[in-house]
Amino acid sequence: MPSYALGIDIGGTFTDIVVYDHDTGRQWSRKVLTTHDDPVRAVVEGTVAVLGEARLEPRHFTRVVHATTLFTNALIERKGAVTGLVTTAGFADTLEIGRERKFELYDLNIAKPEPLVPRNLRLEVDERVKADGSVRQALDRAELLDCVERLVASGVSSVAVVFLHAYANPRHESEALRLITERYPELYTSASHEVAPEIREFERASTTVANAYIKPLAHQYLGRMARQLAERRIPAPLLLMLSSGGLTHVAEAQRTPVQMLESGPAACAIAAAFFGRDVRAAGRRGAGAAPAEARLEIEDRGGELLAFDMGGTTAKLSLVVGGEPLTAYSFEAARQKRFIEGSGLPMRISTIELIEIGAGGGSIAQLDEIGLLKVGPRSAGSLPGPACYGLGGSEPTVTDADLLLGYLNPEYFAGGTIAIDVAAAKAAIARLADKVKLPLIDVAWGIHDVVNESMASAARVHVAERGRDPRDAALLCTGGAGPVHACHVARKLGVREVICPPSAGVASALGLLVAPARVDRVATVGVRLDRGDPAALESAFRALEDEARAVMADTGLKLETARFQRLADGRFLGQGFDLVVALPDGPYDGRDGNATRRALTAAFESAYREKFSLTPPDVPVEFINVRVAVRAPVAGSEVVLQARARGEAGTAVKGRRPAYFPNAGGFVETTVFDRVRLAVGDTFAGPAVIEEEGSTLVVDPGATFRVAPTGNLVVTLSP
């Protein structure tokens, strides 16, 4: 019986649908405009269209995986639920006080992000737990219920409970949840010990409040998505992509939806890691397939990839090192200033390290107050969309510019599913050209070049902050607009090699299908390694691993396939910051405590030296938090894209058209290739445009490209 997997990725402009056949390796995909008033509608329309076109039986689907930017957009746009906060007496202003740090020291008009819960909905109750977990003052139950009654009367539908030092002893929070649920079963509740059970009151409160703010939306949306798929007779359970790049089940996602804030971008990084790993393997296997100089790909660059995904609304950039995206354990949502730390809402969740900027196909070009051309972050989205969509948009966008530059085929946009109005694109850019008194094509190229520079600048910052050089990496491009801009972005970064995987336009949706299930758990311990008992650390790790096993079991996975990783937030005594480091596998034997302490200290010092080069002499190490990351492969994640030994019947050349390349003097007659007809081993010189359903790769003059054994297109740029 056939076995199909379905990947669903909802973006700001397009919703991507991918179906993969595990028996044949074949896939079908569809890009449909996102329906922001009801995102589920676009999912259903796209899924029904793919199933009808490919004549697939819904009952044969064994896996459905979903990623969305819906929840982070709700935070940014402040469209979450009316939320209340119940906290310890004296701590109602924690969300506004924060760290008492200005993210721009000399800005007299600085605007800090507004708390998600206004002051009148932040209420205090008498209770107090000390830092060691002992109870100093019992919870006042009557006062708690009185506070919740006042919140309900104010229209609150979701309540966050954040008590002081609940990470050390959650008894009062658990009691509060029980009392609230008994009295008001219709209320959504979130407690800090369930959402972010770790030290630091501001970050813990911010994360818990964000979870409460989006929880009603997540509960209703995910429930409706699951029901809609079931009504289409798709029996497979719905799995959700987490910000960490792993998967979880619907109930866990509904409980802590804050873990999904970066689920869409995480799928991009997972897809890049998958295709990058595939490329490295092909490079090792294919020694006889191509000359040595043509087999650079990834392995000669230390296994580093710069994953670049550009869709209709945003562009995402992340580093993949040794086949794995880098992971962070905190990030900021809804930043006031996109690149400035401290200007957003701190979230203590596990997330793939990436940078996201407002640079996509729908990004709007405009003049700033001094007449300079700016592109984004404002976007035309899916409605009205770029002017060329013919849906009412009139402002010039990146897609309009790319169309006039000859990079895009108006007859084959999104596989021919979207009608393109070239005249409308020309009119939109002409209005901007009139303002700046420049030729139409110069303005179109300016839009294209400015957005490329924005992405290159973001990449330089992101890579440099991690102590790396972008020139040591290859750039792997995905997204509907990523391959169009990849070569020009790579040149700005000094990158010599660009890799474009098959079905690049829907690669994020495909990334969902190869992601493992993942559970992250954290606990605060506060242990000095020179004095602490390793047996106590082992006990803390065992408790976290048992909790993670329980969540994995609810996902229906075989626990014997799970891989456990132990980490800790460590620092040298007296430091004000922590460094998350990987630790040796346990168990940590208390019988030989000195050897265990030495091994743990060595692990921390090694990671510290890698980041900072030196370690302070004779300073004890302390672990503030311990973490467990558990991964397990999901049945149906064995995706193998079969490259064609020879192209489909007929020539791969579709035709020729003028495309604009300033380094070649302007418009150049450019060969247009049909990607599905390219064969493994084919090598061509630019300029070239390679079209496939969902994306277009632009190769500029002086570059060459070849088809790798995996089906990846590998572009080698001239010096």
- CATH code at position 183: 3.40.50
Is position 532 within any domain? Answer: yes
Residue 63 dihedral angles phi and psi, to the nearest 5°:
-155, 130
Residue type for 396, please? Answer: P
Structure tokens at 403: 């169309």
Q: Is there a single domain that holds both residue 674 and residue 621?
A: no
Both 617 and 671 in a single domain?
no
What SS3 state is found at 596?
Answer: helix
Residues 615 and 674 in one domain: no
Is residue 540, in this structure, part of any structural domain at all? yes
Same domain, 605 and 692: no
Q: Kindly state whether residues 620 and 524 are assigned to the same domain.
A: yes
Q: What are the pLDDT digits (tens) for 298-319?
A: 434 446 889 999 988 888 899 9
Do 137 and 192 share a domain, yes or no?
A: yes
Residues 540 and 590 in one domain: yes
Bridge partner list, 685: 704
Amino acid 445 reads W
CATH number of the CATH domain containing 547:
3.30.1490
Same domain? For 85 and 192 the reply is: yes
| Structural domains counted in the chain | 3
Residue 239's DSSP bridge partners are: 65, 249
Indicate whether 64 belongs to any domain: no
Prediction pTM value:
0.85
Name the domain boundary from 206, 231, 248. 206
- State the CB neighbour count (10 A cutoff) for residue 146: 13
**Domain edge (last residue) among 182, 206, 230:** 206
Mean pLDDT by 10 residues, the chain (719 residues): 88 88 85 89 93 91 89 86 97 91 82 91 97 95 97 97 96 97 97 95 96 96 93 91 90 94 88 72 36 37 78 88 86 75 88 86 92 89 90 94 96 86 96 95 96 92 85 92 96 94 88 86 92 89 91 72 92 92 85 84 93 91 94 71 52 93 94 92 93 93 91 90
Annotate 450-474 with b (16+ C-beta within 10 A) or e (fewer). bbbebbbebbbebbeeeebebeebb
Same domain, residue pair 674 and 706: yes
- Please compute Rg for the chain using Cα positions: 26
Same domain, 602 and 712: no
Which residues are bridge partners to 9 per DSSP? Answer: 16, 67
Return the pLDDT at 568.
96
Q: Which of 189, 206, 223 is the last residue of a domain?
A: 206
**Residue 143 belongs to a domain:** yes
Answer yes or no: do 156 and 98 share one domain. yes
517 near 247, Cβ under 8 Å? yes
Residue 623 placed within a domain? yes
Same domain membership, residue 178 and residue 113: yes
* Residue 31 to residue 54: CA distance in whole angstroms: 15
* Residue 324 belongs to a domain: no
Beta bridge partners of 696: 691
Q: What is the pLDDT of residue 602?
A: 94
Could you list the beta-strand ranges (E) of 358-462.
Answer: 363-367, 373-379
Q: Does residue 112 lie in a domain region?
A: yes
What's the domain range around 117? 78-206
Tokens of residue 456, six digits: 């290159």
With contact defined as beta carbons under 8 Å apart, do 94 and 202 qualify?
yes
The answer to whether residues 689 and 653 touch, using CB atoms and an 8 Å cutoff, is: no
Q: What angle do CA 309, 315, 316 make, to 5 degrees?
A: 65
In a domain, 339, yes or no: no
pLDDT mean across residues, the chain: 88
- Distance CA(34)–CA(626), nearest Å, equals 40
